[in-house]
Structure 1
Amino acid sequence: MSKRGKRQAPGVRLPASIQPVRKTRNGKLVKIYYYFQERRNRSDAGPRVPIPYELHDPRFWQTYEALKSAGDAPRAGTFGALIDAYRTSHRFTKLAKNSRDTYDIALGHIRKRWGELPVCDVQPKHAYAMQEAMSDRPSMANFTVCRVLKLLLKHGIRLGYCETNIARDIEPLGEAGIGAEPWSEEAFAYVLEHGTPLLMRAAVLGRATGQRAVDLVRMRPADRAGDGINMLVRKLGNEPHWCPLTKEAAAAIDAWGEQKMMPYLNLGGRKISEDRLRAEWKAFKELHTEHLPEDITLHDLRATAVCDRRIAGVPHQQICDQLRMSPAMVATYSKHIDRKLNATAGMKTMERAENVHLKTIYAPIENRKA
């Protein structure tokens, strides 16, 4: 019998907002208590209210309807209503589950602070105030205000909630660190030499395609097409994408000789999940702490893929199309490489010039006797 079947009366399907809690004594069921809570298990969950009636008592359902009417109907034109509308839109439902979960956290912050605020009344000062209130978590503050709020208001304009998107020009908070960093050549070589076949393949695929772990675990020989590989980008709602491969990467991948329909990343012929891949990586890192940086991740291979291309002279927009990344993401991953490339190019320009002024300055130093 399913867990649901054990926790409720036969033939009765409880709404998601109703939580049954079993009380047992000596292993025997004594009573089931019921609680009402809107958006249960989410960051913007409503209050938990007990319903003091048995499931088959008409008063149970009367109480439920009253609570639902009070808690599930935000006033028209408010952020609560807009968030509910956005969560049922194709733009939200097409996102991968992990993305929806992350968006829900940000939407929960917005609902908690602005749920009853009319969307048309919001001003930039409100957005900055929200950002400041979350400044102890700058990454989440920027994600909530500069991305999710901007998308939410964009949807609101379509539906007539507001006429302008005040989040469009909000300046993000400064964040410590630079996010994903490319693997060093030493780290990459170490994983190829000492890693398990699974992790060796993950490193090669990740660097060759620049994709997330959730997409790497689904790549198969059957997906190889011409000089690249076909894939579905989970983060973008399984959007089809073809990623070109270098001749060297393609040769290495094809040499694995995997069965056509079996993912390259498998354990003894068994498919694995993204979580399993991350667990294998974590275990490997813990055994090789002397040779691998503490903060190195599989996600960093995305930055490695971008930097490989920038060093080779591939323009940003072409990298966007090759790896199916946004221009902002490519710029973020490659900003340090870009600075180094620009600095080097500038120095070469200086070396090609006459530099008469600098030669005059440094001449006395060069001629000085020890």
Structure 2
Amino acid sequence: MVELPRYVKPQRKPNGRVFYYYERHRGTPRALPRVPLLAQPQDPLFWLRCDLCTMLDAEAAGDGWAWRWRAPSGRSYPLPSPREPDAFWAAIEAAITTDEAATNGGARTFVALIDLYRAHAAYLDLKPSSRSAYDRYLDQIAARWRSLPVQALTTIEAQAAIDAQQETPRAAEFFRMVLCRLIDFGIPRGFCETNVAEKTEKIRYKSEPYKPWPDWAFELFFEHARVGLHLPVYSAIYTGQRSVDVVPMVRPKRDAGAIELVARKTGANVFVPIHSDYRQVLDVTHVDHVRLHLREDGAAWALPAYRTAWQREMSFGQPITKTVDEAAAERAENPAKAAAMERLRHAGLVFHGFRKNAVNMLLEVGCTEAEVSSIVEMTEAMVRHYSKDVNKRRLAMSGMRKLEEGWANTRQNLFGGATSPILKNRA
């Protein structure tokens, strides 16, 4: 359990979600109105806002309160009421920017380095999905060390920022990578002389590979999951695309020979010929709508809504995306579905596993890595990574076949003709 800063209190809502507030002098005559932090402890923004709250002043004014933020420079900035938390924190951010401009001038701070990086080809040439991922961690770095000169950062401080995300190792790893690259970018531009982040510990964790869905899993899913989730599963299997590309697919014309789209992750044009079985699925489910994947009410699925619905189905009977009472009611109403979804969860099966199904099936029928790569929009190196289990099975079957064929005419059996009594006495 993380130890919270002084005056920071959690509050659990009826739906189980926990929110955090800064409540200075709570329960005393000097108590100030509470300030919503709008962040969770695993987010660096949470700790920054906790620090910023220590620099708040508030005085009773008529029927309300007058709020101000005292900057480290000694300047004071008026703020709106925290009853409107978005406007409240936006005003503090604006005050920080104003104060930094007045105090630091041309100081080589992290915020200045990030602005320079975002205007450079090193950032602009990243793929859109990569830029989006970088932005998340650049914002975290700016939130934590905004006005700190890059040269002043220590390895200890960098390690503390990484350790704050240890509950999510992959996020911690990405944070460390972005921080290292950002500081590397700043070295030849005079922001610092060495990269202290490179001396931090590398994140060690075992990544669980995505699992292809076995036959029994499809049987359970199609029997128990809501029907509106089914067609995207067929599309994922027959096209091998990611959910971000599958869910918003445009319905192909009846005489179309292929599914065509632009992959959101890579920006590449994708051309997937329509398998005859998939065409039958498209014909049976045809509706006059521009979009292919529709909810039960006939409206098109939005990706966030589909993911939410998927998660609710996969967690059926469990208080993961619902309250304890709602989960208990689901189990009581449909225990068979609850048991089926529990089995799928315990098997570690997710939507992205369909992509591995597609890769495996193409490889099993003898497709080359280049052919698989062109269909599922995946690098040949990643196809090889996905295909390790398939290749092992193919090699094992090929090896056993060669063993049988190679010795068929030269040896009575693998033991030179000798036979154990346990076989001689069998009919």
Match of 1:75 in 2: 108
Per-residue displacement from partner, 1:286-322 (whole Å, max 9, x unpaired)? Answer: 1624234113222221111111211222122221211
Residue 355 of structure 2 corresponds to residue 302 of structure 1: yes
- Give SS of 2:220's match: helix
User: What is the correspondence of 1:37-186 to structure 2 with a 5 Å cutoff?
Assistant: 43=44, 48=52, 50-51=69-70, 52-54=76-78, 64-68=97-101, 75=108, 83-88=114-119, 89-92=123-126, 94-95=128-129, 100=132, 102-107=133-138, 137-140=168-171, 143=174, 173=204, 175-178=206-209, 180-186=210-216
**What secondary structure does 1:266 align onto?**
coil
Partner of residue 281, structure 2:
252
Q: Which runs of 5+ in 2 are unaligned?
A: 1-21, 23-31, 36-41, 56-68, 71-75, 81-91, 152-157, 193-197, 317-333
1:349 aligns with 2:412: no
**Structure 1 residue 218, shift from structure 2 partner:** 1.2
Q: Tell me, in whole angstroms, the C-alpha distance in 2 between the residues paired with 1:72 and 1:207.
A: 56
Match of 1:218 in 2: 248
1:212, CA displacement in angstroms?
2.5
Distance 1:279 1:132, change over 3 A: closer
Deviation at 1:184, TM superposition (A): 1.0
The TM-score with structure 2 as length reference comes to: 0.56
Question: Counterpart of 2:238 in 1: which secondary structure?
Answer: helix
2:339 is matched with: 290
Alpha-carbon distance in structure 2 between the residues aligned to 1:83 and 1:240: 32
Where in structure 2 are the equivalents of 1:183-194 lying within 5 Å? 183-194=213-224
2:415 matched residue in structure 1: 361
**8 Å contact from structure 1 (residues 212, 299) kept in 2:** yes
CA distance in 1, matches of 2:95, 2:229: 56
Q: Is the 8 A contact 1:262 1:269 kept in 2?
A: no
- Other-structure match for 2:294: 265
1:9-30 residue CA offsets vs partner (Å, 9 max, x unmatched):
xxxxxxxxxxxx9xxxxxxxxx
Assess if the C-alpha contact under 8 Å between 1:74 and 1:80 holds in 2.
Answer: no
Question: Which whole-Å CA distance do the structure 2 matches of 1:225 and 1:158 have between them?
Answer: 57
SS at match of 1:229: strand
Worse overlay, 254-263 or 318-327: 254-263
Q: Please, what TM-score do these two structures have when normalized by structure 1?
A: 0.63
Pairing 1:266-281 to 2, within 5 Å after superposition: 266-281=295-310
Quick one: distance in 2 between partners of 1:365 and 1:130? 68
The alpha-carbon deviation at position 62 of structure 1 amounts to 8.7
Task: Tell me the equivalent position of 1:314.
Answer: 367
**Residue-by-residue CA offset, 1:326-357 (whole Å, 9 max, x unaligned):** 33433333322222222222222222222868
Secondary structure of the 2:208 match is coil
1:203-214 matched pairs, under 5 angstroms: 203-214=233-244
Partner Cα separation in structure 2 for residue 54 and residue 134 of structure 1: 33
> Could you report, residue by residue, the CA deviation over 1:193-242 in whole angstroms, capped at 9, with x for unpaired residues?
44333111121111112223232221122477832112232223x54322
Alpha-carbon shift at residue 181 of structure 1 (Å): 0.8
- Paired with 1:85 and 1:366, the residues of 2 have a C-alpha distance of 79
> Which amino acid counterpart does residue 211 of structure 2 have in structure 1?
E
Alpha-carbon distance between aligned partners in 1 of 2:227 and 2:420, rounded to the nearest angstrom: 55
2:224 is equivalent to residue 200 of structure 1: no
Question: Post-superposition shift, 1:83?
Answer: 4.4
Deviation at 1:66, TM superposition (A): 2.9
2:370 alignment partner AA:
Q
Residue type of the partner of 1:204?
A: Y
Instruction: Tell me the alpha carbon deviations over residues 37-56 of structure 1, each in whole angstroms, 9 at most, x when there is no partner.
Output: xxxx9747866362433479
Matches of 2:271 and 2:283, distance apart in 1: 17
State the alpha-carbon separation in 2 of the partners of residues 116 and 357 from structure 1: 78
Per the TM alignment, residue 117 of structure 1 is displaced from its structure 2 partner at its CA by 6.0
Q: What does residue 195 of structure 2 align with?
A: none
- Contact persistence 1:228–1:245 (CA under 8 A): yes
3-state SS of paired residue (2:367): coil
Larger CA Rg, structure 1 vs 2: 2
What secondary structure does 2:261 align onto? strand
Identity %: 22
Following superposition, the deviation at residue 133 of structure 1 comes to: 10
| Cα deviation digits, residues 48-77 of structure 1 (max 9, x gap) | 362433479xxx99975332466897738x
**Cα drift, residue 264 of structure 1:** 2.2
CA distance in structure 2 between the aligned counterparts of 1:278 and 1:249, rounded to whole angstroms: 23
Q: The residue matched to 1:353 in structure 2 has which SS?
A: helix
Q: Mind listing any 5+ residue stretches in structure 1 that lack a counterpart?
A: 1-20, 22-30, 35-40, 119-126
